[in-house]
Each structure stands twice: as C-alpha cells, then as structure tokens.
Structure 1
Amino acid sequence: MIGNPEAPEVRCHDLVTTFDGQLVLRRLNLTVPARSVTTLVGASGAGKTTLLRHVLGLLAPYRGTVTIGGRDVWDSSEAELREIRRGISALLSGPTLFNGSTYASLTVREHLLAVLWEKHGEAVGPAREHGSNPYLKLWTPGLEGSRGRSIPGELIERANAVLERFDLVDVAELRPDELAARVRRRAALAATLTVDVPLYVLDDPDGALDSTHRRAIIDTLRETQVRAGATVLVTTHDLALAEEISDRVMVLAAGRIVAEGAPGETLRGIEAWYEMEDDYRLNESSTPAPIPGQRPYSNARPLTRLAQRLDLPDPHADDAARHWGFVLALALLAAVIALVTGWAALHYSAWRPV
C-alpha cells in the first residue's frame, strides 16, 4: 500500500447557499466521521451536488464554514487549498468524462496512469525515462509504441489491475469521445478509486452501476476505503446502494439534514427516492421532527423567517407583491363596477316616467 495520511473528519457548519434569491442550503450542519462511508441521499435538486462543491472548494457558500481535518476550506490560501485537494479524489456529477480537460486527448489507460502519477509519483520514485517530465511520452501524439514506458512499474501494474477490475481492458486504448456514456462514467469512477487518498468524494456514481458491473464496483469501493483507511462521502439516488455501502446515511431535504443514522434505520420502509421525498417533504404547513442540536422549523412561513434572520432577500417577497397587487386590482375593479352600477341606477330612476 502506498502511504496515506490520517483520514479526515469533514464538517459543514451553518452553510447557507442562494441561487437567484432562492435559498438552497439553509443553515445546514453535518459531520462526516473519519474512516467511514457516509452517503447523502435526497431528491433531485435538493442541493447534494451544491454541498459537495462547497466541500471541494469549487463553489463558495453565501455563509458558513467547511472544514476538512480541521482546515477551513474557504479560509485557505490558494497553496493551502491545493494541499487540501491533494488529499482528495473526487468523482464529479455529469454524463461525460474529462469535459473541458487536458485529459480529453488521453486514452482510458493514459488517464489512469496520469492520475496515479499525480497522486503517487513522488512516493514510488522517479520515472524510468524522462525523469523530470514523466508525461512527455504519455501526452505526445504519435508515440503509440512508447506510451506508458516512462511511468514506474508499480503504477502501471495498479492501472492494469483497475482496468481489469472495472472491465475496461477492451476500451483501455480508446479516448473518452469513443466511449458510451455509461462506460465513460465507469472509467471516471475507476480513475477516482485507483488512488489511495484520505478522502473520497463521489457525486452520483449511480451511472456506472449497471447490472453487469454493480457487484464488482461496490466491492472495489469498500475495499478501497478499507485499504486506504479513508473517509468517503457519497451522494446517490440509489437507496439500495446507500444501504449496502454506508456506515451512515444522511437525508437532505428543504436545505437541511433532516434525518441521519444507520442505513437500515434511516431508510426503513422507503423503496425509492421519490417515496423518501414524500416522507421527508417540508412545506410551509408542516413541521419536521427537530434534529438534535438544531432549532426546529417554525410553521409560519419558515423560509421568510429564515431569510430575515440571515439578512437575505425574502424568497416570498415577489410572490407576496404579486398577490397583493392582484387583490388591489380586484378591489379597484369591484369599486368601478359599483360606481357604474350606482350611477346607472340613479340615472334610470331620474328619467323613468311617473
């Protein structure tokens, strides 16, 4: 095993996120225990991907803190943030692999080798060729016969093992644009799990889990976590996956963690994510069960009250303005009708023959 620092605990405190004046995360608090697999479940649009982007330092929250191993992600210098990210291997959501990336010109095998070298090159020693530039032959077009020879044997062996484990051997020499969408997703997940890091962040790995490869991928995920002694944070719509891989499950709804605990207990009786959405739905006429350490929601217009406490734009302000504008328009129309009717009645009575 290639050496690894101690796995970190991940904490989010009082996170607030807004898009176009709408609250997405509402003073969210969560703790991902070190050396465990924690899965975040929730309906589409609940804010799962947004939360992971806060954790990865890709999207700044409106308010709140994110710490990884006690280091504040959003209070770090660029150098400190790079150091934090060196300890993370992430699978971002999306249907394709290497979008907008230099890796788009690499084959699946080359991408695995590049990721391995980036994370572990110094740990395994200098490359056998092109010592200071191990990517030279890897990234130079037209050197098909030489590709990969500048990478140390240990990393080549690991890449080959991953290709076989994820059933990618037959597509190892293909570029991303030559792969089917599901195969690209599987290749991206393989690249994420091929390295040993303290923290894995996997956003919606469901796309890689077809019936043929599901068992092998789940086993690999668990084995990787044990081998690296890592912390793993996953988001998914697949509740069966969440129950199978997780030490702990958290449910995200209405911008907060509304339930958390052991998978069997938290997901008991829920067969699909849309049932979960119904079970945990928060609206303006319902009050969810309070979470230990957090204040419960108020029944009366909770989003408006929260916006006031946070000094944010009232998400209901436009709706309220439209409502009262409509009421005023109706009142004016009624007054006009009453005036016209009264005038007509008086006029008729004044001119009616006796």
Structure 2
Amino acid sequence: MTGPVSGASPRGPAIDFTDVTTTIDDTPVLFRLGLHLAPGTVTVLMGPSGSGKTTLVRHLAGLVAPGRGTVTVDGVDVHAAGEAQLRQLRRGMSVLFGGPSVFESSLFGSLSAYDNLAYALDGRGLSPERVERIAMHRLREMRLHDRADTLPAELPAHGRKRLAIARTLAVEAPVLVLDELETGLDAAHADTLVAAVREQHERTGATVLVTTHDIALARELADTVAILCHGRIVACGPPSELLHGVTDADDFDRRFRISDFLGPPDPEATRAELDGPRRRSRTIELDPRLLVPALVVLALVTSYCLFLLLTR
C-alpha cells in the first residue's frame, strides 16, 4: 500500500457542517458540531460506535435534518434546498450507508451483479458500450468479474459488500461517501478496496468522506482525519499526527474518548441549544500538538503559585 493521494485536481465541492445539533429519541447525538471537508480531499471520520457518524452521513444525504445548524455542499444548504435542487445535489453524490447489513439494501436482489451496476449508471447519458466497460471494470476491481451473472443472495456477505462498493464507485459522483467502510469486508480484500478508492479519487478529484473504526485503513486513505466523540469533532488533522502511536482501539480511546474532558453533551444544554435563538457560530480549532506543552506550562504556573502561597 502507498500513502494518501496528493496532487489530484479538485473537482469535488466543499462540504461544511456548521453548528449541527441533533437529538434522537431525546438523546443528544451531535452537539454544536463543526466540520469542513475541503474540495477534492479524502476525509476519514472516526469515533466510537454510536458517536453519530452515520447520523452525520444521513444529514449530508438529505435524509434527516439536524435539529439546529446547517449542512452545505458547495455553499448550498442541503436542508433548505427545494425539491429540484435537492434532487440535483443527490445526483452529485454516491453514498453507501453502513451497518451490519444496511449496505445490502443498496442492491437489488432480483438483478445480477452486473445488472446492479448497470442500473446505477442508467440515465447518465452513457452509451451501452461505456456502461459495460465501467461495470466490468468495477467488477474486476472488486474481484467479482467471474460472478457477473450471480444474484446478490448467492454471494457471501463480503462479496455482497464488495458488490455494493463497486456499485457506489461506478457512478463516479463528485461527492463519494462510504459509511462504515470496513463492515462486512474480509481482511483479504482490504488492499483491493483501498486501491480502488484511491484510484478513483486520484482520477476524478471527488470530495470523499469515509467513516471507519479501522486505524490502518484511515492511515492509508485519509488526507484529513476527523475524530467524532461525544457528539463533537474533538480533533482534526493529518493522520500522521493524529494517529501517531495509535495501534489499537485502547490507544484510540485513551487519546480521544477517555481524555475528552467535556464528556457527553448534557440533555438540558442540548434542549436549550435547540430551543434557543439562532446565533452565529464560532469554531475554535485546537492543534493537538500544543496540548502537552500547554499542560506542562499550566502545571509549572500552578506549582509556582502554590510555592508563593506556602512561603508567604
């Protein structure tokens, strides 16, 4: 495997989540969240299960509106767009939702593997010959070319996941979203998947959002890693910095989830946020490299103050 793609011509739009607050069944999920996806880059969103990654993806796809805040694609508010504009926005996205079996809902059980890809390309002004070339290329890429006539139910679970990924990649939309990318995928095909996503990004310059728990996959794919914890983005930066020294889930928890001193959003504060007047949001970004020096300086100042008090 090689490092993240660089130098791609940005063709994908900028995506912004601004001051997003969301509750589900009165439980705070996202709280004053802010996240910027730069045009033509790959952002990998990481966080514990239940932290709100899939909710964020559903906000972006226009399926669920946030209780407060905005989600914009190239400056267009997804949830304020009219029907025609929303349809156009969605046409510019290719989204694979995560979950243990959710990805299978993106496949048509009555269509063969090949026909599933051909159907995704229908109505995009492509000649039948071009459709065939793209569909077979994606099937070969996911090592399914010898199963082109097979129905999804006749494939193993990891085969169905690879078929769903092939279908998502085939569209080559300016915005590519892959939720819980590693779920249902066997380790033997991880390199294939990374190579396919990177090749498409390098060639098309799409803006890519990937959610995953897989630390190695994040290192391989990401231009930027964003950490979602307790409903907020608690860190954002290059994987070489944010994930340096992180080798497993315990390391990840210690660095981000356990050390997040703010903790989960308070339900009362969340209700007040949703019910209160609208305001201009302000985003403060903290460089994680400055955290340790800042704590050392704070400890020294505190020790000096205590010394002065005790020697008076």
TM-score by length of 1: 0.70
CA contact (8 A) 1:209 1:217 kept: no
- Whichever residue aligns with residue 220 of structure 1, its letter is A
Matched, 1:8 2:7: no
Residue matched to 2:181: 205
Gaps of 5+ in 1: 126-151, 288-296, 314-354
Quickly say closer, same or farther: Cα 1:225–1:18, change in 2 above 3 A.
same
- Partners of 2:118 and 2:224 lie apart in 1 by 32
**CA separation in 2, counterparts of 1:100 and 1:194?**
17
Structure 1 equivalent of residue 307 of structure 2: none
Q: Does 1:65 align with 2:41?
A: no
Q: C-alpha distance in 2, partners of 1:51/1:222?
A: 23
Question: Comparing both chains, which one has the higher relative contact order based on Cα–Cα distances under 8 Å and sequence gaps of 6 or more?
Answer: 2
Q: Does 1:260 align with 2:236?
A: yes
Q: Quick one: distance in 1 between partners of 2:190 and 2:67?
A: 38
- Change in Cα spacing, 1:6 to 1:174, as seen in structure 2 (3 Å) is same
Runs of at least 4 residues off by over 4 Å: 97-102
Q: Tell me the distance in 2 between the aligned counterparts of 1:306 and 1:192.
A: 38
CA distance in structure 1 between the partners assigned to 2:119 and 2:162 by the alignment? 17
Separation of aligned partners in 2, 1:259 and 1:54: 20
| TM-aligned CA distance change 1:158 to 1:257, over 3 Å | same
Q: Could you tell me how far apart the structure 1 residues matched to 2:102 and 2:133 are? A: 23
* Percent pairwise identity: 41
Determine the C-alpha separation between the residues in 1 that align with 2:150 and 2:102: 12
Of 69, 72, 81, 1:76 maps to 81
Residue 224 (structure 1) aligned with residue 200 (structure 2): yes
Partner of 2:134: 158
Equivalent residue, structure 2, for 1:306: 269
**Alignment-derived partner of residue 87 in structure 1:** 92
Aligned to 2:120: 115
Determine if the alignment matches structure 1 residue 24 to structure 2 residue 32.
no
One-letter amino acid of the counterpart of residue 89, structure 1? S
**Does structure 1 residue 192 correspond to structure 2 residue 163?**
no
- Aligned counterparts of 2:229 and 2:106: Cα–Cα separation in 1: 33
Give the RMSD, CA atoms, in angstroms. Answer: 2.5
Please report how far the alpha carbon of residue 307 of structure 1 lies from its aligned counterpart in structure 2 after TM superposition: 2.8
Q: Which has the larger radius of gyration?
A: 1
- AA at the equivalent of 1:161: H
Cα distance in 1 for partners of 2:223, 2:274 equals 37
TM-score w.r.t. the length of structure 2 is 0.79
Distance (Å, rounded) in 1 between the aligned partners of 2:256 and 2:107: 42
- CA deviation after TM superposition for structure 1 residue 99, in Å: 5.0
CA gap 1:7/1:113 in 2 versus in 1, 3 angstroms: same
What is the aligned counterpart of 1:250 among 220, 223, 226? 226
CA distance in 2, matches of 1:176, 1:213: 18
Cα distance in 2, alignment partners of residues 117 and 234 from structure 1: 25
Flag the 1:208–1:169 CA change in 2: closer, same or farther, 3 A: farther
Shift of 1:111: 0.5
Partners of 1:103 and 1:308 in 2: how far apart? 40
